[in-house]
Amino acid sequence: MKITEHILRAKSKTLFSLEVLPPMKGKTIHDLFAVLDPLMEFKPPFVDVTYHREEITYKKAGGGLVQKVPVRKRPGTVGICAAISAHYKVDAVPHLVCGGFTKEETEDAIFTLHYLGVQNFLLLRGDALKNERRFAPSEGGHHYASELVEQVANMNKGKFLHEETAYEHATDFCIGVAGYPEKHFEAPNLGSDLRWLKHKVDMGADYIVTQMFFDNKVFFEFEKQCRDIGITIPIIPGLKPITGKRQIHSLPPVFHLDIPEDLSAAVEAAKDNQAAMEVGVEWAIQQSKELIEHGVPCLHYYTMSKADPVLRIAREVF
Nearest by Cα to 243 from 299, 284, 289: 284
Contact 214, 246 (CB under 8 A): no
Rounded to 10 deg, the angle between the 273-294 and 216-228 helix axes is 30
In whole angstroms, what is the distance from residue 80 CA to residue 32 CA? 9
Strand pairing report for 207-212 and 174-179 = parallel
Rounded to 10 deg, the angle between the 247-255 and 261-269 helix axes is 140
In whole angstroms, what is the distance from residue 115 CA to residue 119 CA? 10
Q: What amino acid occupies position 229?
A: I
Check if 19 is active-site: yes
Q: Given the residues 19, 107, 182, 223, select the one marked as catalytic.
A: 19
In whole angstroms, what is the distance from residue 20 CA to residue 148 CA? 22
Residues with catalytic function? 19
